[in-house]
Amino acid sequence: MLESFSAETLARMQFAFTVSFHIIFPAFSIGLASYLAVLNALWLKTRDETYLHLFTYWKKIFAMAFGMGVVSGIVMSYQFGTNWAVFSDKAGPVIGPLMGYEVLSAFFLEAGFLGIMLFGRNRVGDGLHMFATAMVAAGTLFSATWIIAVNSWMQTPQGHGINELGQFVPEDWMAIIFSPSFPYRLVHMVLAAYLTTALVVGGVGAWHLLRDRLDPTARRMFSMAMWMILFVAPLQIFAGDQHGLNTLEHQPTKVMAMEGHFESHPDGAPLILFGWPDQEAQEMKYSVEIPKLSSLILKHSWDAPLDGLDTVAREDQPPVAIVFWSFRVMVGLGFCFLGLAIWSVTKRAMGRLYDSPWLQRVAVLLGPTGFIAVLAGWITTEVGRQPFTVYGLLRTSDSLSPVQAPAVAASLAGFAVVYFFVFGAGTIYILAMMAKPAATPRLGLRDGPIRTAGLTPAQQSNPDALHDD
């Protein structure tokens, strides 16, 4: 089935496949680590056991998501050496140190304190346990910072020179790290992680509320998640708009593809809501448009001119249909999240937040869609950068290793089979944990009375300790 694809296409498919699996786990663990830090702080401050039950419940899910994120990330790093060795050779002097900083400053921080956070509540003091939980949360944010710095440099490269071997060599590290798109991209990604986690927590809380609307842990997680979505969703829409303006300045071709503008519009460009991009014919078919609204959004003027893809050579254009539709999926879901936030705050004001089955059903339905929005945004960003790996400087076709298509096809098939079993099993296990109420004690011999030599009942173990193993 894969014989008709080139080695480059297969290598791109392989990287897209693995990065799509990988990105959902960090996106979840970044938000969940911060949520755990908040829950732990609230437990220490209030001694309300609801927070402790929620911390114990979500930390197990975090551990699974963190582990799968690490494994899926390691696989990606090998692909830089197998399929993209030329890219690694040319961009390695810039990207290698940044990835090294990520491991040294972020991953070590996460891994170093993870054990204390997971198993240390009854083994270290409350202060050290809280510090460890906060460090794990900080580590996930540092990790995102370094990865986004790498990606931003690939999108808007600066601060480098090119030596006689054609390699990008660092000349100004501050310019490399803080490239023009870095702050917008970092804020957009971190907010996306928080929003994704809030949707999952809210969906799980809603699921259990539909079964027992008096469950205090379900009520607490649902309420906290709805507050978080109400706070983050509008911020994310604003951040996305600012990110779009930055992209228009530094990567205008990507915005042309996102907007579906094949033609230039000297007197104001329409906002194309829907349509069918025909890249071969260089036109948008069956389009539904709002006149001049794109100019108003992108340049704050009804009559502002906007260039189209007719100003870009065809060999420099990204795949328009993919970028056009993935962008609409991301934006459409973003406004769905805002609608959920407004609905929930309205119900809260009416005193019916926990007594609205339809609100909770919609929250369950939207629970996993944060991951879809993250993937759609990532596709928009990465496919919109094509045909370059380093924007404007290094083409994807010139970044490929000297590999043969059958070899890449075989490894892609192998990845698909392994990922299906490994991450499929992990995802099913996480869903099974989420299906249990937060305060449900674990089943098994360790939760029953402890006896010695089968004769004398021993003292009942501490329930908190049982939860914390």
Contacts of 395 (CB under 8 A, 6+ apart): 387, 388, 389
pLDDT-derived band at 81, boundaries 50, 70, 90 = confident
* 391 DSSP 8-state letter: T
Whether 454 shows a pLDDT value over 50: the answer reads no
Q: Under 8 Å CB-to-CB from 73, ≥6 apart: which residues?
A: 22, 26
The stretch 32-39 carries a mean pLDDT of: 94
Taking the C-alpha atoms of residue 199 and residue 195, their distance in angstroms, rounded to an integer, is: 6
pTM of the model: 0.88
What is the b/e burial string over 112-144, where b = at least 16 CB atoms within 10 angstroms of the residue's CB? ebbebbbebbeeeeeeebbebbbbbbbbbbbbb
Please state, in angstroms and rounded to a whole number, the distance separating the CA atoms of residues 155 and 98.
Answer: 15
The per-residue pLDDT for range 360-399, each reduced to its tens digit, is: 999 999 999 999 999 999 999 999 999 999 999 999 999 9
User: Rounded CA gap, 172 and 187, in Å?
Assistant: 23
Q: In the prediction, which pLDDT does 458 show?
A: 44
What is the average pLDDT across 206-211? 94
pLDDT, tens digit, for every residue of 265-320?
998 899 999 899 999 999 999 989 999 899 998 888 888 999 999 999 999 999 99
Band of residue 2 on the pLDDT scale cut at 50, 70, 90: low
CB 156 within 8 A of CB 180: yes
3-state secondary structure of 436: coil
pLDDT score of 462 = 46
Under the banding of pLDDT at 50, 70 and 90, the label for residue 427 is confident
Residue 460 confidence (pLDDT) above 60: no
Question: How far separated are the first and last CA of the chain, in Å rounded?
Answer: 48
What does 150-165 look like in DSSP terms, one character per residue?
A: HHHHHHS--SEEE-TT
> What's the mean per-residue pLDDT of the chain?
88
**Segment 109-147, tens digit of pLDDT:** 888 898 999 998 888 889 999 999 999 999 989 988 999
pLDDT grade, residue 189 (50/70/90)? Answer: very high
Distance from the Cα of residue 334 to its chain's centroid = 14
Mean pLDDT of 246-261: 93
- Give the mean model confidence (pLDDT) for residues 205-230: 93
DSSP string, 120-183: -TTTS-HHHHHHHHHHHHHHHHHHHHHHHHHHHHHHS--SEEE-TTS-EEES-HHHHHT-TTHH
Asked whether 460 and 449 are in contact (CB, 8 A), the reply is yes
Q: Tell me, what's the pLDDT at 103?
A: 82
Percent of the chain with pLDDT over 90: 65
Location of structure tokens 């008096």: 214
Residue 422, pLDDT > 50, answer yes
- Round to whole Å and give the CA distance between 349 and 303: 42
The length of the chain, given as a count of residues: 469
Going by the DSSP 8-state scheme, the letter that residue 376 receives in this structure is: H
In angstroms, rounded to a whole number, what is the distance separating the alpha carbons of residues 304 and 462?
68
Does the pLDDT of residue 162 top 60, yes or no?
Answer: yes
Confidence category of residue 324, pLDDT binned at 50, 70, 90: very high
Instruction: Give the residue from 451, 443, 447, 445 showing the smallest Cα distance to 464.
Output: 447
> How sure is the predictor about 426, in pLDDT bands with cuts at 50, 70 and 90?
confident
User: Residue 466: its pLDDT value, please?
Assistant: 41
Range among 2-11, 189-198, 405-414, 431-440 with highest mean pLDDT value: 189-198
Report how far apart, in Å, the C-alpha atoms of 215 and of each of 2, 209, 210 are: 51, 7, 10
* pLDDT the model gives residue 414: 87
Residue 445 confidence (pLDDT) = 38
- Rg (the chain; Cα; Å): 25
SS3 207: helix
Q: Which residue has the tokens 């007594």?
A: 355
pLDDT of 1: 58
What does the pLDDT look like over 44-64, one tens digit per residue? Answer: 999 999 999 999 999 999 998
What per-residue confidence (pLDDT) applies to 314? 92
Q: How far apart are CA 455 and CA 104, in angstroms?
A: 53
Per mean pLDDT, which range of 82-91, 131-140, 282-291, 454-463 is the poorest?
454-463
Q: Please, are residues 326 and 379 in contact by the beta-carbon 8 Å criterion?
A: yes
